[in-house]
Amino acid sequence: MKKILLASLLSLAIDATAQWKAIERIFTAPDTLHEAYGVCSHITNIEYEKRDENIRMAKAMGASYIRSDMWWWQKMSAFDNVAASLKAADMKFLPILDHFTKNGNAWRDIDRYAAYVDTLVARYPQYEFWEAINEFELVHRKEGSFQELAKYYTAVLKRISETVHKYGKKVLYDGIALHPPYNPFVKTTAEMGALEYVDVMNIHCYFNSNCENVLMHELNGLHKVMKDYGAADKPLWLTETGSSTEQTKQSKVQFYGEVVPAALKRLGIKTSAKIAVVHDKTYGFDGATERQLEFLRRVYPNFEYIALDDIAFLNPKEHPALLPTNCETFPRAFHDALVEYVRQGGTVVFPVGSPLYYTQEPKGKLIQTNYNEVLHRLHMKLELWWHGDFANSKLPRHVSKVVRTNNFPGIQYNRAIPADSVMRYISSAYLQPGDSLISVCNAGDANHKASVCGLIRLNSNMKGNIIFDTETPDNSSTNTEEMQAKRLQRVTLMAYALGVSKVFTYNLRAFENKPDYNEDHFGILHKDFSPKPAYVAYQTLNHFLPDGSTRPTLSRNELFGAYRATWTTPDGHSVTAYWIERGQDSVRIPRRAKVYDYLGNDITPKKKFIHYENSIIYILD
């Protein structure tokens, strides 16, 4: 444990000794934030009857703009009423020019469409900006080749531009969904002259993990295209970004939120215990995803992040449990240390698929390893119908259901059946006298049944435990409400620092009509208008970084993956924000400074240092 202690002491001194690398602004943007906060709310259609309540809640959290569609076939009277509500609340509006009609769409009737746009822009002179269609390339992906869609959009955009500019207003490019390094639709339309017709570039970005690196990668790729086609100095708006909090179908949610805590409690591990989590930057390897940890944190909140080298120094009495991997991979160089940790009494979690099936070199490719050898040492028998002594056997490849046992009363874990029905089983074949396998879920057929999720308790020459689930990887796009809130602040703050002029959170109110429908849970308000943590997080960011503040300057510590943003508020206060992608870090607090968490709570410590993790802390001098 000396190595881990040394790393912790080094971390305490990071802000004073480490060199922070400045991250340059990518896009042209004013040095001061102006009407920078926006939110998406369907006040012109789906939320029309509740538009006033939506507008009130948007204004209360600090938004300057609301964004919504103006559907071609709607009555103007509805748009008039929305305009009146916005005026009464002194709110700005970003209208999205829709292009659908019951008889077709814009490019098939372009003259009539241009006349419709003309009518709207003339009727609502208070709207300064007009968004030229929403996610055109996604909505129409089945209606033509990529080149044809680019041609259609560029032709429509040209007519929109001519009409809007006639009234002295400004045009936003299609709200396009970026994919690293950029959506090729942008380049294809740019080749056709599309960027000449717009005043503002416009993108949508959604994140489930690694949002900082992905955002920088996408924006750099987009800016290169814009530079290549003479549009590098045009401002950029991010008119959709957010995350869903739908949870009902996510079995990995239940594994980390129910199975792992229940197993740890059965082993007598207190909820105050320190859980070791691998986070190794040399290998680019993590023992758990951000999302997985959010569910475990609700019961076991104390994590300590370690490098792979540190496993050899882990003492099970100090760190009774370890999350070594979040997938089927674990670097072979650390198999011996992992086995030794379990031999001494440590508990490990193998959450996905075939445990230790692959190895990985530092930041290298995956290679299938001799998993059976290391699992045999752990007294864990993996049964795969396609491999080893089970090839060509009667081991069931397909099952119709997975049966939950009564070994853990109260657990509601609904183990999913893989889409390809390829089952992976754990049997008791390698257990030694004194060992036991306590299954949570079993699967199989009349010829063979075995566990697919459970707890192995070792009480032979090995004294530790293994919590496992062989369900294939969890690719869910959903987040906990806490993750939604943390990511909202991180993405928004980083976007401003990189030169994004305005950021619109999607969406204001969650529809919550279908519990298992992802789109119904993007809101930062619940259906009854009660706030999710993300709503409070939006207010908090707006409070500490209000309009009129200097645009944040951003820097990153490459060693620890920590970020620091600094700015000055309109009333002259200096604010510094810290957060880290993964793990934990510490910063020295200036004398008389106040510290607040991402929800605005005063967390000023009595000591000189304060820890921070993947949620922003604000330090006010």
pLDDT digits over 77-119, tens only?
999 999 999 999 999 999 999 876 555 676 778 888 899 999 9
Mean pLDDT of 345-352: 96
Please tell me the predicted confidence (pLDDT) of residue 322.
98
CB 93 within 8 A of CB 121: no
pLDDT digits over 543-602, tens only?
999 999 999 999 999 877 899 999 999 999 999 999 998 778 899 999 899 999 999 999
Radius of gyration of the chain (CA): 27
- Quickly state the pLDDT bin for 34 (edges 50, 70, 90): very high
Rounded Cα–Cα distance for residues 323 and 279 (Å):
10
φ/ψ bin of 213: left (φ > 0), alpha (ψ from -120 to 50), beta (otherwise) = alpha
Burial of 326 (0-12, 13-18, 19+ CB in 10 A): buried
CB 467 within 8 A of CB 349: yes
Please tell me the predicted confidence (pLDDT) of residue 385.
78
Mean pLDDT of 255-275: 95
pLDDT digits over 168-185, tens only?
999 999 877 665 445 688
Tokens of 221: 């790729």
Of the candidates 67, 76, 123, the residue with the CA atom closest to the CA atom of residue 95: 67
CA distance from start to end of the chain:
36
Please tell me the predicted confidence (pLDDT) of residue 51.
97
Please tell me the predicted confidence (pLDDT) of residue 572.
96
Q: Where are the beta strands (DSSP E) in 423-493?
A: 425-427, 436-444, 449-457, 465-469
Choose the weakest-confidence range: 7-11, 120-124, 170-174, 501-505.
Answer: 7-11
Please tell me the predicted confidence (pLDDT) of residue 278.
94
Choose the weakest-confidence range: 121-125, 398-402, 614-618.
Answer: 398-402
Rounded Cα–Cα distance for residues 301 and 348 (Å):
17
CB 312 within 8 A of CB 285: no
Please give the share of the chain, as a percent, with pLDDT higher than 90: 62
- Quickly state the pLDDT bin for 13 (edges 50, 70, 90): very low
- Quickly state the pLDDT bin for 6 (edges 50, 70, 90): very low
Which position has the higher pLDDT, 12 or 574? 574
Which position has the higher pLDDT, 613 or 208? 613
* C-alpha distance from residue 590 to each of 151, 607, 611, 620 (Å): 57, 11, 14, 9
Secondary structure element (H or E) that encloses residue 609, with its range: strand 609-612
Of the candidates 152, 219, 243, 186, the residue with the CA atom closest to the CA atom of residue 483: 243
Please tell me the predicted confidence (pLDDT) of residue 389.
61
Q: Which amino acid is at 12?
A: L
CATH fold for the domain made of 2-19+551-620: Immunoglobulin-like (2.60.40)
Q: Where are the beta strands (DSSP E) in 55-106?
A: 65-70, 92-97, 100-101, 104-105
- Does domain 251-469 sit in CATH 3.40.50? yes
φ/ψ bin of 410: left (φ > 0), alpha (ψ from -120 to 50), beta (otherwise) = left
Whether residue 128 is predicted with pLDDT greater than 50 in this model: the reply is yes
Handedness of CA 23, 24, 30, 32 (dihedral sign): positive
Say whether 79 sits in a helix, a strand or coil: helix
Mean pLDDT of 123-133: 96
Please tell me the predicted confidence (pLDDT) of residue 108.
76
Rounded Cα–Cα distance for residues 276 and 475 (Å):
24
Mean pLDDT of 299-320: 95
Of the candidates 498, 611, 443, the residue with the CA atom closest to the CA atom of residue 218: 498
CA angle 62, 67, 71 (to 5 degrees): 155
- Quickly state the pLDDT bin for 607 (edges 50, 70, 90): confident
Choose the weakest-confidence range: 20-34, 291-305, 328-342, 486-500.
Answer: 291-305
Please tell me the predicted confidence (pLDDT) of residue 174.
86
Give the Cβ contact number of residue 403 at 10 Å.
Answer: 13
Mean pLDDT of 269-277: 96
Please tell me the predicted confidence (pLDDT) of residue 40.
98
Supply the mean pLDDT for the chain.
88
Please tell me the predicted confidence (pLDDT) of residue 457.
98
Please tell me the predicted confidence (pLDDT) of residue 254.
80
Please give the share of the chain, as a percent, with pLDDT higher than 70: 88
- Does domain 35-245+477-544 sit in CATH 3.20.20.80? yes
- Quickly state the pLDDT bin for 366 (edges 50, 70, 90): low
Tokens of 533: 């943590």
Give this prediction's pTM: 0.79
Of the candidates 439, 479, 478, 617, the residue with the CA atom closest to the CA atom of residue 541: 617
Annotated domain spans of the chain: 2-19+551-620, 35-245+477-544, 251-469
Please tell me the predicted confidence (pLDDT) of residue 19.
80
Please tell me the predicted confidence (pLDDT) of residue 392.
52
pLDDT digits over 392-411, tens only?
566 777 777 788 999 999 88
